[in-house]
Amino acid sequence: MLRRTFLASGIALATTPVLAAQRLTLDAISRYIMKITRAKCDFVQVNDDGTLSTGTLYVSRPGRMRFEYNAPEDLLVMAGGGQVAIFDGKSNISGAERYPLSRTPLNLILERNVDFGSRNMVIGHEFDGTATIVTAQDPKHPEYGHLQLKFTDNPVELRQWVVFDGQGSKTTVVLGQLETPVELPGSLFSIEFEEATRRGN
């Protein structure tokens, strides 16, 4: 289930004067994502079957991301070197199940140059009264699925994403407060290093 579905709003308390939430422009959202070079946060994942998973997310843009799942899940998902790797501890296999990053919706926020306004990737740009919701997909490969991002403003923050994969499954990832680590070791995003570690090399 998780292997298939992986490929994931707050209301700010206002003081006087009240600042009404507004729909963010695509340019503002693109600039916000481009400024994210290193990030770490807790996450809660709502799986397609309604079950919950929790863990820690690490991001090193461009191109790298790591989902460390908490017990009882024995699961690790990594993006690095142009690939997404899924390590499922229940399979008793040290190697990863790999997919090209370019064939997953997460590539839309991990690519080096993010510009939702100039590319034909946005298929929805809405405001629900508290958050801006952007729905995007690779225009060349809509069969890979699409990604729905939810942002709040004052300041701009990515609060959650929803991944709809090519088989129609839905996975929601709700993000905690993003931290900005001074450094994130490259080994966190190295699929080969993780495989060697699991083999005991």
Q: Which of 7-11, 52-56, 81-85 has the lowest mean pLDDT?
A: 7-11
Q: Rounded CA gap, 199 and 201, in Å?
A: 6
Could you tell me if 47 and 171 are in contact, meaning their C-beta atoms sit under 8 angstroms apart?
Answer: yes
Closest CA to 101 of 90, 91, 112: 112
Sequence-ordered list of residues with C-beta below 8 angstroms from that of 122, at least 6 positions apart, any chain = 26, 116, 134, 135, 136
pLDDT digits (tens, 9 = 90+) for 137-183: 888 888 888 889 999 998 899 999 998 887 888 999 999 999 999 89
Given phi > 0 = left and psi -120 to 50 = alpha, else beta, which region is 145? left
Q: How does residue 15 score in pLDDT terms, banded at 50, 70 and 90?
A: very low
- Cβ of 26: how many Cβ atoms within 10 Å? 18
Q: How does residue 2 score in pLDDT terms, banded at 50, 70 and 90?
A: low
pLDDT over 60 (residue 64):
yes
- Position 142 scores a pLDDT of 85
Q: Rounded CA gap, 109 and 174, in Å?
A: 16
Whose tokens are 């709502």? That residue is 46
Whose tokens are 């490969």? That residue is 141
Fold adopted by 2-199: outer membrane lipoprotein receptor (LolB), chain A (2.50.20)
β-pair partners for 145: 165
Determine the length of the chain. Answer: 201
- Cβ of 92: how many Cβ atoms within 10 Å? 6
pLDDT over 90 (residue 191):
yes
Report field, pTM of the whole predicted structure over 0.75: yes
HEC profile of 172-186: EEEECCCECCCCCCH
State whether residue 108 is helix, strand or coil: helix
Whose tokens are 């959202």? That residue is 29
pLDDT over 70 (residue 4):
no
Give CA 90 to chain center in angstroms. Answer: 23
The helix (run of H) or strand (run of E) holding residue 27 is helix 26-35
Angle, alpha carbons 149-57-14 (nearest 5°)? 55
Q: Does residue 105 have a cis bond before it (omega within 30 degrees)?
A: no
Task: Please say whether the dihedral angle defined by the alpha carbons of residues 124, 144, 67 and 121, taken in this order, is positive or negative.
Answer: negative
